[in-house]
Amino acid sequence: MPLPFRILFFIAFLGLSGGIVVYLHRRLVRDVTQQRWLRIGGALLMVGLGGGAMAARTVFRGSAMNQSLAVFLGLWIALLLYTLLSLLVVDLARWGSGMRRKDPAPINPERRVFLARAVAGSSLVSGGALASWGVYRAYEPARIHEVTVRLAGLPKSLEGFTLAHLSDLHIGAVLQEKYVDDLVARANSFKPDLVAITGDLVDGKPGEIGAFVGRLARLQSRQGTFFCSGNHDHYAGWKEWSAHLTGIGVEVLKNRKVVIGDGGGSFDLIGVEDYGSRIVQTGYDPDVAAQGQDPSRASVLLSHQPNGFDDAVRLGLGLQLSGHTHGGQTFPGTGVASLIWGSRATGLSREGNSQLFVSRGCGFVGPPMRLGSPSEIIKIVLLPA
């Protein structure tokens, strides 16, 4: 992302965060007490816990302490998010009720404080309950979701060919060894013919989390493990990660294709760089990746973001596997994802002769939460069309 856009994003982020903190402080602290020291203490608590955890993560980056700090910061953000939503629901309901009243009755100060405390307390309880449930769901083992796809041009001899589709693992400060081992065991459990990982594998440098990523070498399949980059892999240092993955036996597809199968039957597996890297000279380039593609042959495209599906349609590719959206990851993000990507937010969709499957992903980014969008490992079973 160019520096001016980063600066604008940072300013917008600070403005939004500041507005949320001011609103929460007013509804949870200022409205419920006249004690000046409590009001100041509440402000320091809201700003200090989040800001302190972020600063400490910088200080302890790469240490064991960083994992605990990342979890704490995520939980704090989750609690604030769902408390905010609970308060907004109450305030909108009160505003709507007030609009319907022509002559609202005055409320005495004691009753106003009592209602403010009741609303603040119930919002904290409901926000905490939702945040806790979301965290529990985020750390649940990824479910195996089986999808059957009829693929034009697939030879009869490859009927039932199975792919384990993993996406958005986000191995980093929070998700580490135990998490990777569980994903590997679950993917291996249905004995796939091929493993496809569609980006956003890491949130960290090879020197920090390379040992955890290296456990992916335990993935087992007849044809091997293939990978295409995601935006987070580029943020983390794609050149270094590309070499690291190659070193553990993962075949990285940088705008190129490989033949899967043999003389008895085969299809083309194509991988592209992350869609967001299209402005870079060596970035996303589906035309180079699919150069010389025979339209009569079955083809599967690994592309991290569903945004590039129009290119797959244009090139006549049979199936694109993507991630990136997390299915919105957690409410209300699930609704936002549907607004942004529509039918391409999650699951299987079709346009013309091309199909797209978007995984909700295996891990999470940001707050450790999943509500309405469970993590998943996709078992793709290919059949001739």
Write the pLDDT tens digit of every residue in 311-336.
999 999 999 999 999 999 998 899 99
Q: In this structure, are 104 and 157 located in the same domain?
A: no
Instruction: Give yes or no for a contact between 263 and 219, defined as CB atoms under 8 angstroms apart.
Output: no
Q: Tell me the percentage of the chain whose pLDDT exceeds 70.
A: 90
Q: Which stretch of DSSP H or E encloses residue 112?
A: helix 109-139
Who contacts 52 (Cβ-Cβ below 8 Å, separation ≥6)?
A: none
Average pLDDT, integer, range 112-137: 88
Q: In this structure, are 129 and 264 located in the same domain?
A: no
CATH code assigned at 200: 3.60.21.10
> Last residue of a domain, which of 138, 161, 180?
138
Q: Report how far residue 163's alpha carbon sits from residue 224's, in angstroms, rounded to the nearest whole number.
A: 10
Full residue range of the structural domain in which residue 63 is found: 3-138
Q: In this structure, are 181 and 289 located in the same domain?
A: yes
pLDDT per position as a tens digit, 218-277: 999 999 999 999 999 999 999 999 999 999 999 999 999 999 998 889 999 999 999 998
Q: In this structure, are 46 and 148 located in the same domain?
A: no
Q: What is the pLDDT of residue 344?
A: 95
Q: In this structure, are 284 and 249 located in the same domain?
A: yes
Q: In this structure, are 365 and 295 located in the same domain?
A: yes
Q: In this structure, are 104 and 10 located in the same domain?
A: yes
Q: In this structure, are 311 and 339 located in the same domain?
A: yes
Q: In this structure, are 348 and 329 located in the same domain?
A: yes
Q: Which range, 202-206, 218-222, 281-285, is most confident?
A: 218-222
* Sequence letter at residue 296: S
Q: Report how far residue 107's alpha carbon sits from residue 113's, in angstroms, rounded to the nearest whole number.
A: 10
Instruction: Give yes or no for a contact between 147 and 357, defined as CB atoms under 8 angstroms apart.
Output: yes
Between 132 and 57, name the one with better pLDDT.
132
> Last residue of a domain, which of 81, 112, 138?
138
Between 147 and 54, name the one with better pLDDT.
147
pLDDT per position as a tens digit, 69-111: 767 777 777 888 888 888 988 888 877 766 566 665 666 778 8
> Residue 28 gets which letter from DSSP?
I
pLDDT per position as a tens digit, 177-203: 999 999 999 999 999 999 999 999 999
* Number of domains within the chain: 2
